[in-house]
Amino acid sequence: MSVTAAEGFVAEGLHAGIKRRRYDMALLATADGMPVRAAAVFTQNKFVAPPVVASRNRLQKNGGQAVAVIVNSGNANAGTGAAGMADAEAMCAATAEALGCDARDVLVCSTGIIGTPLPIEKILEATPKLAKKLSPKGARHAAMGILTTDSIPKEACVKGSKFTLGGMAKGCGMLAPNMATMLAFLTTDADIDQADMQRLLKDAVDRSFNTLNVDGATSTNDTVILLASGKRGKPDLAEFADALHRVCEELTLLMARDAEGMTKLVRLRVTGAKSDAEARQAAKTIAENNLVKCSWHGGDPYWGRLLAAAGSSGADMDTDLATVSYGGICVSRAGAPLEHDSEAVAEHMDGEEIDIEVALGAGSGEAQVIGVDLGPGYIKENSRTS
Catalytic, out of 95, 127, 148, 181: 181
Whether 285 sits among the annotated catalytic residues: the reply is no
> What gap in Å lies between CA 118 and CA 90, rounded to an integer?
11
Phi then psi for residue 7, to 5 deg, are -65, 135
Assigned domain for 372 exists: yes
Exposure letters 95-111 (e unless 16+ CB within 10 A, then b): bbebbebebebbbbbbb
- pTM of the complete model: 0.84
Say whether both 143 and 77 belong to one domain.
Answer: yes
Please state, for a pLDDT cut of 70, what percent of the chain lies above it. 93
Assigned domain for 2 exists: no
Say whether both 215 and 337 belong to one domain.
Answer: no
Of the residues 220, 239, 257, the one at which a domain ends: 257
Say whether both 242 and 280 belong to one domain.
Answer: no
Say whether both 73 and 217 belong to one domain.
Answer: yes
DSSP assignments along 224-278, one per residue: EEEEE--TT-PPPHHHHHHHHHHHHHHHHHHHHHT-TT---EEEEEEEEESSHHH
> What gap in Å lies between CA 156 and CA 165, rounded to an integer?
9
Say whether both 348 and 306 belong to one domain.
Answer: yes
**In the chain, how many domains are there?**
2
Say whether both 85 and 233 belong to one domain.
Answer: yes
Say whether both 123 and 272 belong to one domain.
Answer: no
Q: Kind and range of the H or E element at 8?
A: none
Q: What is the pLDDT of residues 153-178, one digit of tens each?
A: 999 999 999 999 999 999 865 444 44
Say whether both 216 and 294 belong to one domain.
Answer: no
**What is the 3-class SS of 14-36, one letter each residue?**
ECCCCCCCCCCEEEEEECCCCCE
Q: Which residues contact 333 (CB under 8 A, 6 or more apart)?
A: 322, 323
> Mean pLDDT for each consecutive 10-residue tract of the chain (386 residues)?
96 97 97 98 89 97 98 96 97 98 98 94 98 98 94 95 97 53 93 98 90 65 96 97 96 84 89 96 90 93 96 96 98 96 97 96 94 76 56
Say whether both 78 and 181 belong to one domain.
Answer: yes
Of the residues 207, 222, 257, the one at which a domain ends: 257
Assigned domain for 3 exists: no
Say whether both 215 and 178 belong to one domain.
Answer: yes
Domain span at 318: 265-382
Of the residues 191, 226, 257, the one at which a domain ends: 257
CATH number, domain containing residue 39: 3.60.70.12
Say whether both 41 and 185 belong to one domain.
Answer: yes
